[in-house]
Amino acid sequence: MTVTAGLGPIDTVDDGRGPLARTLDRVGAVPAIEVRHGLPDTGEQWIGCAEVLGDPAVFDRWRKRLADWLSERHKGQIPERTTSGYIMSWYLQVPGFLAGLLFHTARRVPSLRPRDIAFRLSGDRPHPDGIALLSDEFACLPDDPESHRPEATTVADDRALAALLRARYTAHAAKFVTAFGPGTRFGRRTLWAAATDALDSAGWLAGRSCGDEGAGVADSALLLPTAEEPLTSASTLRAITGENATVWTRRRESCCFHFALPDQPACTTCPRLTEDERAVRALSR
């Protein structure tokens, strides 16, 4: 029976809900974000990824809301490149983290089609604080206890499963690049660099959220073993060892332009930092 990272055997009790729903019931309560199967029966506002990508004006309204929120806190003019950089990263983390979490915890890859994913924005800082998977379809390994189900597709091994995840994620990211790009000053390379960042972070953040950062880093290496176009690099995660600790960090391919806000430093993963500066920052956290 398949054993997931630090979570014990996958639950195969059929309670009328599908395998992905039961998996997300177990692992979806990770820090800072809710990941669930299906939409709740409440008055919460959820946004379908297909809706956003089909109407780029949604991005304009999202940028305006973020600019207002940042302006209240930083008391100054908020650069368009900062709001665009934040939203570029936030959106791509929706399919990226969803896929990374299921890959890390259950070696399952869900559908990543825009019509099969929705997200919820926080009522304060307008970032995604909830992700909903709306499909029961998944790919898995031959030893998955649910591999016999009609919604399951099996692949040979971890590398094949990671390649399928990468292909599904890249297809979603391509739709994002087409929808989001014309409304910003970012070029195609920057947009695909951000897509690469979100995928590289997916396994790492899933592992960290579930208590096994090292296993998450290994997952990111599986997901991005090389720079495969249109993605812009292999995984940039690396260990930094200080006198009393070893920590993981990475160099971003893209930039969120946080440093362009009044009196704000560059992020630890910012490509503008030297590797020595990054090491000092990472070890001081």
Look at residue 52 in the predicted model and tell me its pLDDT. 97
Q: Is the pLDDT of residue 100 over 50?
A: yes
User: DSSP letter string over 145-196?
Assistant: TTTTSTTEEE-SSHHHHHHHHHHHHHHHHHHHHHHHGGGSS--HHHHHHHHH
Straight-line distance from the first to the last Cα atom of the chain, in angstroms, rounded to the nearest whole number = 39
Residue 15: pLDDT band by 50, 70, 90 thresholds? low
| Structural domains present in the chain | 3-225 (1.10.510)
- The per-residue pLDDT for 28 is 81
- What percent of the chain shows pLDDT beyond 70? 94
Q: What is the pLDDT of residues 204-242, one digit of tens each?
A: 999 999 999 999 999 999 999 999 999 999 999 998 888
Name which residue leads in pLDDT, 241 or 273: 241
41 burial via Cβ count (<10 Å: 0-12, 13-18, 19+) = exposed
Find out whether 49 and 114 touch, Cβ atoms under 8 Å. yes
Cα 188 to chain centroid, rounded: 19
- 0.85 exceeded by pTM: yes
What was the pLDDT predicted at 7?
41
Burial-class residue 243 by CB neighbours within 10 Å (0-12, 13-18, 19+).
Answer: exposed
Mean of pLDDT values over 132-146: 97
Average pLDDT over residues 198-205: 96
Task: Give the mean pLDDT of 183-206.
Answer: 95
Residue 280 has pLDDT above 90, yes or no: no
CA distance 126 to 67: 10
- Reported as a pLDDT band with limits 50, 70 and 90, residue 145 is very high
Rounded to an integer, the average pLDDT of 104-116 is: 98
Nearest to 173 by CA among 96, 228, 67, 258: 96
Give tens-digit pLDDT for 36-58.
Answer: 999 998 778 999 999 999 999 99
